[in-house]
Structure 1
C-alpha cells in the first residue's frame, strides 16, 4: 500500500477548511490550521508534502508565511499552493515571485483542487527522486559526501539548539592503495562496496548515518551519542569490517582488510561550526593510523572550538 501524502491546509474560513478536507481526505492525510502562526508552529514538529495556503488571514498573511517557509532550510522545498479570493494578476504574480508553485482562485472547484494538488505532488515526487539520486554514491550505493555535509549541518544545528551530544567518525581502509596494486581496481571496487554495506549494516538507530567520504574513506554522523557511546559504536564498525575477512596479503598490519577510525564528539552541542567536528575526527584518524592502524582514537571537542 502506497503511503499517503501529507497536506496542510491553512485557511481562516472553517467552511473552506471543511470543503478542502472532504475534497482531499480520500487520497491524502490532511491537516487543518486556521492561521499562519499556527501553521508555522505545526511545521516545527510535523513534516508535510504540500501546503494549501490562504493569503488573507488574521495575523500574518499568506505571503508572510511563505517568506518564512522559504527562509527555513527545513521547509523551503515544500510546495505551496495559494488559494485566495484575490483574483488580480498582481496578487497571483506576487505569489509566484515569492515561490508559490500554483494559485487557485476562490470560489474554487473541487475537481480543480484535486488535479492541482495531484500535479504538484507528482512534481515533488520526481524532484525528491532526482535529489536522492544526486545524493547517492554511484559505486557503493550509500550516501555520498554531499549528502553527508547536508546531514551533518542539519544534525549540528539540532545539537546546538538542544544542547545534546553529537559525534562524528571518519574511517579509512588501511593500506588500500596496496590492496589495489595487489588485486586490481575491480577487486578494489568490490572491496569498497562490501565495506560500505558492512558499515551501513552496523547502524541500528534510524538516526545513525554512514556515507562515503571520498576514495577509501567513510564517515558516520551520530546524533545524541557521547564520546563513550561513540567508542562502542566505532568498535562495532571495526568488528563488522573485520568480520568480512577480505584477504589483504599486501597489508602491513593484518592478513585481511581493516579500517582505522577517528572520533570527534561535541558533548554539549556548543561547537561553533560543524566543520570542526570533521577536522577533529580527521586528527583522530591520523593518530589511529600513526599508531599502527586497525585502531580507534576518540577526541572531545572543546566549546571554544
Structure 2
C-alpha cells in the first residue's frame, strides 16, 4: 500500500476543530468524508461506504458506541474497520469499544505519528482482506465471478424476485466444441479464447445486480434481474453474434469457421422448475438444435 492510494475515510466528531486536525493528519490517505452526529455517520456509511471510520465516542445521538454497535450487527458493514478517537482513557471504556467490534482505540490529545501509523496499518489490513475476498469469489482466468459467487447471487436474486414479484432471467452458455479447440490450438490459446468470451459477457452484464460468471471449464452463466424472458433472449442472441464477431478461427468446429457459443435462456417462475435446471435444459436444446444458437425454456 502507498499513501497515495485513494481510500475513503469517514471522520466522525462533533467538534469542528477536532475534525480539522484529524483531517490534516490523514488527508494523504485518500478521500475524506465528515459527520458530526451519529445519524449523519450512519447515513454517510449507507450512501458512500468508507474503507475506515475514525469515530469519536461522545457525539450526538446515537453516540459513538451505539453507532459502532449498529454497524457491527449489520452484515453489510460487519467487516468495516472502526477506530475510536476519543479523550476517554479508562480501561473499561476502551474494552467496551473493542467488545463492540472496534479494531483500535486512539487517545486524545492526538499524537500525529501514532494516528498516521495506526490508520496506515488498518488500511493495509483492509486492503488485504478485500483482496482475499475478491480472490474467493473471482475466477482467476477470466476475472468473472466464480461458481461460489454465482450461487450466492442467484439465491439472493431469486428471493428478491419472489418478494417483489419482479422478473429474473438466466442465461447458460457453452463454448461450442471447445475440447477440439483446446486439442488443436493448445491450452494457452484455449485460455485466451475463454477470456475473450468472458469479455463479451462482461460487456453485456453491466447493470446493477447483473452478473456474468464462469461456472467451470467452458460453461458460463449470466444472471439478469429485471429482464423478462423475451428481453433476455434478445440479449442472448446479441451475445452469440458478438462471440462470432470475435473472429477466433476454429477449424475443427462443425457449426462455424470461428469460435461460437450455444445459449439457453430461462425466466424465474415461483411455482416452476428450478431456474438453473430450466436454463440447463434450454442449453441442451440449443446444442441438440445444432449449436451456435439460442434456445429459450
TM-score (norm 2): 0.79
What are the residue-to-residue correspondences of 1:257-268 with 2, within 5 Å?
Answer: 257-265=259-267
- Residue 89 of structure 2: SS of its match in structure 1? coil
Q: Distance in 1 between matches of 2:115 and 2:274?
A: 48
Q: Is the alpha carbon distance of 1:276 and 1:23 closer, same or farther for their aligned partners in structure 2, counting shifts above 3 Å?
A: farther
Query: Contact 1:24 / 1:114 at 8 angstroms: preserved in 2?
Result: yes
Q: Is the alpha carbon distance of 1:253 and 1:204 closer, same or farther for their aligned partners in structure 2, counting shifts above 3 Å?
A: same
Matched, 1:289 2:287: yes
Which deviates more from structure 2 when the two are superposed, residues 122-131 or residues 196-205?
196-205
Counterpart in the other structure of 1:76: 78
Query: Contact 1:199 / 1:241 at 8 angstroms: preserved in 2?
Result: no
- Residue 170 of structure 1: SS of its match in structure 2? strand
Q: Distance in 1 between matches of 2:187 and 2:81?
A: 44
Counterpart in the other structure of 2:196: 194
1:47 Cα deviation after fit: 1.9
Q: Which residues of structure 1 form unaligned runs of 5+?
A: 300-305
Matched, 1:100 2:98: no
Q: Distance in 1 between matches of 2:63 and 2:84?
A: 11
1:165 Cα deviation after fit: 4.4
Q: Is the alpha carbon distance of 1:193 and 1:26 closer, same or farther for their aligned partners in structure 2, counting shifts above 3 Å?
A: closer
TM-score (norm 1): 0.77
Counterpart in the other structure of 2:147: 145
Q: Is the alpha carbon distance of 1:46 and 1:240 closer, same or farther for their aligned partners in structure 2, counting shifts above 3 Å?
A: same
- Aligned counterpart for 2:124 among listed residues 122, 125, 150: 122
Matched, 1:244 2:210: no
What CA deviation, in whole Å up to 9, does each residue of 1:103-139 have, x standing for no partner? 1123323443233222222222233233334443233
- Residue 220 of structure 2: SS of its match in structure 1? strand
Q: Is the alpha carbon distance of 1:133 and 1:102 closer, same or farther for their aligned partners in structure 2, counting shifts above 3 Å?
A: same
Counterpart in the other structure of 1:210: 212
Q: Distance in 2 between matches of 1:144 and 1:33?
A: 37
Counterpart in the other structure of 2:38: 36
Counterpart in the other structure of 1:12: 14
Matched, 1:168 2:166: no
- Residue 43 of structure 1: SS of its match in structure 2? helix
Q: Distance in 1 between matches of 2:177 and 2:170?
A: 22
Q: Is the alpha carbon distance of 1:231 and 1:8 closer, same or farther for their aligned partners in structure 2, counting shifts above 3 Å?
A: same
What CA deviation, in whole Å up to 9, does each residue of 1:252-288 have, x standing for no partner? 5444432122233459xxx69xx95444433432333
Which deviates more from structure 2 when the two are superposed, residues 41-50 or residues 84-93?
84-93
Query: Contact 1:266 / 1:277 at 8 angstroms: preserved in 2?
Result: yes
